[in-house]
Amino acid sequence: MACAGGTYSGGPPTDGAGLGSSAGDGERCARAWLARILEPGWETAGRWLREFGAEETARLIGAGREAAPLPGVRAERWAGLLGRARETPPGERELERAARIGARFVCPGDAEWPGGLDELGDARPVGLWVRGAPNLRIWALRSVAVVGARACTDYGVRMGASLGAGLAERGWVVVSGGAYGVDAAAHRGALGVTGATVAVLACGIDRAYPRGHVQLIDRIVEQGLVIGELPLGAHPTPSRFILRNRVIAALTAGTVVVEAAYRSGALGTARWARRLGRHVMGVPGPVTSGVSAGVHELLRHEAVLVTDAAEVVELVGEMGDLAPERRGPMVPRDLLPPETARVLAILPAKGTRTGEQIGRAAGRGTDDAVARLYELRSLGFVERHGDGWKLTRQAVRSVFPEGEVS
């Protein structure tokens, strides 16, 4: 790919460098070059891009010692940027390298650029490297992040997979970080129902991290998208994982956290989602489980409790996407008319009552009470013993919750 004529194409400036076909190409080459030089989420660099533009920022950094440090950067860091710039090949080489593995570089202003990322302000990615056929912007419009602990429990795996599958079946894109634990479960849940999923990596998109997820990442490339802001070959670091989470939050309509301890990185994604005005949701776990302690803290403050995909979609979806009403199992006594159910409730678990006693306790006449007792007998709830009435054995289990029979 050629870069724009008369503009800087990335790499130390040289005579005749950067000749090409269009201004758009120059912007893309400059950003591809800067993506290898600037660390993700560095807001100072984001201000340079906003104020000077990508091509001028690249030219000033590439000019090396001939240029004064750009605003807001210390001399030591500026020297480090210059050193990295001298070692970085032109941006068009980065683009060619990506094309060889079937990847592309999506920049702000592209039709495929997700608008939600612009809400990050100066922390917005310089650009995103993308592998996979679907359109990233279209997929981001209807997407939900499912994140959680790497060292999760079996419960966390089941819930992550269930949410991933349930959201995908409802036409939502499942976004996560491709890590062990809940992330992998969510991706696999979506893949298992031939659904859509996006993995946002904290390393170059040409490498799988963790290494045990080579096959998973390959499956996601085939069926969905693998994206990242770091250049090809880049290694993950703890800070890059933390900064990656802002991209997950900004891409999606909401973030669901499944199992997270107090210091879990998944909580960072939730904090970014809250800051950006996205929905924040949490799946509760046992109160004795340390791996769910962070989720419970979220639920005590800003998160909404969810238990399945239907409840997630009710929150992030269109008006009318309601989850089914939750209630316990229907039992035969639930079908009784209110007056008859009141008579039934008067009878004790053991012993008998006369029709007169039942009528008085129910606030009804004896004849009316007896009529309702005969109705209950026909339904198998009560039986008559002389002048008395008592519950059948089956009715005792229906009327009295377990443990209340004395």
d(CA 163, CA 326): 18
Q: Longest Cα pair distance anywhere in the chain, in angstroms?
A: 113
* Residue ranges for the chain with pLDDT beneath 70: 1-23, 65-67, 319-330, 397-406
First to last CA, the chain: 83
Give pLDDT, residue 6: 35
pLDDT at position 18: 33
Calpha distance 307→2 (Å, rounded): 51
Cβ contact 28:104 at 8 Å: no
The answer to whether 116-316 and 332-399 have equal CATH topology is no
Residue 399: the pLDDT is: 67
User: CA-CA distances (angstroms) from residue 102 to 68, 88, 92?
Assistant: 38, 22, 15
Over the stretch 90-139, which tens digit does the pLDDT of each residue have?
A: 889 999 999 999 999 999 999 999 999 999 999 999 999 999 999 999 99
- How many Cβ atoms sit within 10 Å of the Cβ of residue 289? 16
CATH number of 116-316: 3.40.50.450
Residue 257's beta-bridge partner residues?
A: 147, 282
> What does the domain layout of the chain look like in residue ranges?
1-100, 116-316, 332-399
pLDDT in tens, 198-211: 999 999 999 988 89
Whether the CB-CB separation of 195 and 174 falls below 8 Å is answered with yes
Q: CB-based burial of residue 222 (10 Å sphere; 0-12 exposed, 13-18 middle, 19+ buried)?
A: exposed
pLDDT at 335: 80
The span from the CA of 172 to the CA of 193, in Å, is: 12
Domain 332-399: CATH class, spelled out: mainly alpha
Q: At what angle do helices 154-169 and 309-316 cross, to 10 degrees?
A: 50
Length of the chain, in residues: 406
pLDDT of 2: 44
Instruction: Enter the tokens of residue 107.
Output: 């920049």
